[in-house]
Structure 1
Amino acid sequence: DFIMASPDKRVDELMDGRYITLHADDDQEVANEAFRMNNRVALPVVSKSNKLLGIVTIDDVLWVANEEFSEDMQKMGGTQALDEPYLEMPLFKLFRKRVGWLVVLFLGEMFTATAMGFFEDEIQKAVVLALFIPLIISSGGNTGSQASTLIIQAMAVGELTIINWWRVMRREIIQGLMLGSVLGIIGFTRVMIWAKILPKVYGTHEFLIGLTVGFSLVGVVLWGTLTGSMLPLILKRLGADPAVSSAPFVATLVDVTGLIIYFSVAYFFLQGILL
C-alpha cells in the first residue's frame, strides 16, 4: 500500500491502526491464529509491561504450523508425536512411541470379544448373523473415524470451538441418518440378492435378516458419527488434546457399541423366529 500510494498522501492515512501484538509467554498456536486472522507478515513481541522484545515473522509461524500439523497427524494415527525425523530415529525409540497406543487399542478390542461372548447363544442359533459382524462394526468405525478427522481439522484451523457443540451434534445426527440410510439400503439389497444365490445360508427369513442388517447399519453409523464428532470436543473441554481421539481410538470404541446395537436390532426383528 505504501509503495503504490499517491505521493500526496500522509503516512497516517496509510497506517493500519489496529494494535496487534504477541506476548512472550503466548502459546505457539496463539501466534499462528493471530497471523491467520490478521493477514500480517510480522508481529511485534512484547513483555507483560508492553515493552518491545522482538518480532515474529510469518516464516517462523509457518514452520511452527507445519510442526503442529505433523504432530496432530501422528496422534490421529495412534502414535506419540515423533520428535526426530522418521529415518533418523533409533528403532527402539520408535518402538516405544508406537507400542503404547497399540496396547491401549488392543485392550479396547478385548471388550469387543467380551461383547461377542455375551451373544454367543444368539450366534449359535442364527449363525448367519455372524456373517455381518465385520460389515457392521467396520462401517461404524469408518464413519466415526471420518467424523473425528473432520472435527479435529475444523478445530485446528479455528472453524469451530466448544461453544459450537450443539450445532455440530445436530449436523452429525442428520449426517449419520443420511449416511446410515445409504449404507443400510445397500446392506439390505446385498442380503436379498445373496439370498437368491445362496438360499441355504439365509433360509426363508432373508427379508427379516435384511431388515436387521439395514437398520443396524443406520444405528451404528449414527452412533459412529456422534462419537467421532463429540469426542474431540469433550476432550478439548477437559483440557486434553483433541487429536488424542484418533481414528483408531474412535473405531475401537464404536466396535464394542456396534455389536450391542446390532444384536439389539436382531432381537427386535428375529426374536421367536431365529432367536
Structure 2
Amino acid sequence: EHFEEQMASAIMLFALMPVIISSGGNSGSQASTLIIQAMALGEVTLSDWWRVMRREILSGLLLGLILGALGFIRIMAWQSFAHSYGEYWILVAFVISLSLVGVVLWGSLMGSMLPFVMKRLGADPASSSAPFVSTLVDVTGLLIYFTVATLILKGVLL
C-alpha cells in the first residue's frame, strides 16, 4: 500500500513480481532445509552461526548475481522482440537485476539464520522451515523490490 501511488505509473513492475517472490522464497527455503539437516546430523551447532552466515552471504550473493544477470537478459530479450518495457527498459532491467540480488541474498540469510534463532530460543528448528521462511522472505522481498524500483525509477517512470 505504501508504494501503490508510485507503482501505478509502472504497471510492468507488477507483472515481474512473481520472479522476485519465487526467487527469494526458494533461496530461503533451500537454505533453511540445508541448515536444519546439518543441525540434525550434528554437522553445525549454535556456535557455528557466524561461519554459516559468511558462507550464505557468499552463496546468496553469487546466486543472486547469476539470477540478476538472467533477469537482465530476459528484460533485454523481451524488449528487443516486443518492446514491452518502453524507452526506459534498461532502468527496469536494473531494477529487476538489483532486486534479485538483494532478495536472493536476503532469502539465503533468513533461511540459514532462522533455524539458529529457533534453536537458541529452545524451539524446534524445523518449525522455521519452508512455509515460514518463504512467507517471511516473500513479504520482505517485495519491500526490497519496491524500494529498489522507487530509488531507480523515481523521476523517470515514478
TM-score bracket for this pair, using the shorter chain length: over 0.9
Number of the residue aligned with 1:250? 133
The number of residue pairs the alignment matches comes to 158
Residue of 203, 206, 217 corresponding to 2:89: 206
Using the TM superposition, give the Cα deviation of residue 197 of structure 1 relative to its aligned residue in structure 2, in angstroms: 1.7
1:259 alignment partner AA? L
- 2: CA distance, partners of 1:271 / 1:123: 10
Number of the residue aligned with 1:182? 66
1:159 alignment partner AA? E
Number of the residue aligned with 1:262? 145
Aligned 1:213-228 pairs, distance under 5 A: 213-228=96-111
Question: Is 1:153 matched up with 2:37?
Answer: yes
- 2: CA distance, partners of 1:171 / 1:268: 29
Question: Is 1:172 matched up with 2:75?
Answer: no
1:134 is paired with a residue of what secondary structure?
A: helix
Question: Is 1:229 matched up with 2:98?
Answer: no
Using the TM superposition, give the Cα deviation of residue 269 of structure 1 relative to its aligned residue in structure 2, in angstroms: 1.2
After superposition, the C-alpha distances for 1:9-55 in whole angstroms (9 at most, x for unaligned) are xxxxxxxxxxxxxxxxxxxxxxxxxxxxxxxxxxxxxxxxxxxxxxx
Percent identity between the two aligned chains: 61
Listed as ranges, the gaps of 5+ residues in structure 2 are: none
- 2: CA distance, partners of 1:121 / 1:198: 27
- 1: CA distance, partners of 2:134 / 2:54: 21
- 1: CA distance, partners of 2:148 / 2:137: 16
- 1: CA distance, partners of 2:21 / 2:3: 15
1:167 alignment partner AA? R
Larger radius of gyration: 1
- 2: CA distance, partners of 1:210 / 1:239: 43
Greater RCO between the two (CA within 8 Å, min separation 6)? 2
Number of the residue aligned with 1:109? none
Q: Higher strand proportion, which one?
A: 1
TM-score (norm 1): 0.57
Using the TM superposition, give the Cα deviation of residue 118 of structure 1 relative to its aligned residue in structure 2, in angstroms: 2.0
2:155 is paired with a residue of what secondary structure?
A: coil
2:17 alignment partner AA? I
Runs of 4+ in 1 over 3 A off after TM superposition: none
TM-score (norm 2): 0.98
Aligned 1:23-172 pairs, distance under 5 A: 117-172=1-56
RMSD of aligned residue pairs (Cα, Å): 0.7
Listed as ranges, the gaps of 5+ residues in structure 1 are: 1-116
2:14 alignment partner AA? A
